[in-house]
Amino acid sequence: MSIKIGDTAPNFQALTSLGNINFYDYLGDSWGILFSHPADFTPVCTTELGFTSRLQSEFAQRSTKVIALSVDEVEDHQEWIRDINETQNTEVSFPIIADKDRKISELYDFIHPNASTTATVRSLLIIDPSKKVRLIITYPASTGRNFNEILRVLDSLQLVDSHNIATPVNWENGEDVIVPPAVSTEDAKKIFPKGVTEIKPYLRYTPQPNT
Q: What is the pLDDT of residues 35-58, one digit of tens each?
A: 998 889 999 999 999 999 999 999
Q: Residues 101-124: pLDDT tens digits?
A: 989 988 998 875 555 545 566 899
**How big is the CA angle at 54 (ends 147 and 23), to the nearest 5 degrees?**
70
Give the contacts of 143 (CB within 8 A, at least 6 positions apart): 44, 122
List C-alpha distances in Å: 7 to 1, 2, 4, 132, 177: 11, 10, 6, 6, 26
User: Is the distance from CB of 103 to CB of 15 less than 8 angstroms?
Assistant: no
Active site residues: 45
Asked whether residue 64 carries a pLDDT value surpassing 90, the answer given is: yes
- Phi, psi dihedrals of residue 152, rounded to the nearest 5°: -60, -45
Domains annotated on the chain, with CATH: 13-143 (3.40.30.10), 163-206 (3.30.1020.10)
- Phi, psi dihedrals of residue 46, rounded to the nearest 5°: -60, -45
Asked whether residue 2 carries a pLDDT value surpassing 90, the answer given is: no
User: Is the distance from CB of 208 to CB of 176 less than 8 angstroms?
Assistant: yes
Query: Which residue in 80, 99, 74 sits closest to 18, CA to CA?
Result: 74
